[in-house]
């Protein structure tokens, strides 16, 4: 079984950021985290990852 980890991210809203700019930042960060999740999941099931060995 693969170890489970948690990643916490805080998004700070600068005082000068309007709603649209802050929402755009959130959308970009969410997309980056989804990409990171896919990469980590792909690597964790690759043959070179020790826990992935039968």
The 10s digit of each residue's pLDDT in 4-39 is 778 788 899 999 999 999 999 999 999 999 999 898
Instruction: Give the pLDDT band (50/70/90) at residue 46.
Output: confident
pLDDT at 2: 57
pLDDT at 3: 65
Which string of DSSP letters, residue by residue, matches 5-50? ----------TT--HHHHHHHHHHHHHHHHHHHHHHHHHHTSTTSG
As given in the structure block, the two tokens for residue 42 are 């792909």
* Residue showing tokens 């930042």: 25
Q: Is 6 left (phi over 0), alpha (psi -120 to 50) or beta?
A: beta
């Amino acid at each position: 079984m693969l170890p489970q980890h948690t990643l916490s991210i805080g998004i700070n809203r600068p005082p000068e950021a309007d709603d649209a700019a802050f929402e755009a930042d959130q959308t970009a960060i969410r997309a980056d985290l989804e990409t990171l999740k896919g990469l980590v999941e792909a690597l964790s099931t690759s043959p070179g990852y020790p826990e992935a060995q039968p």
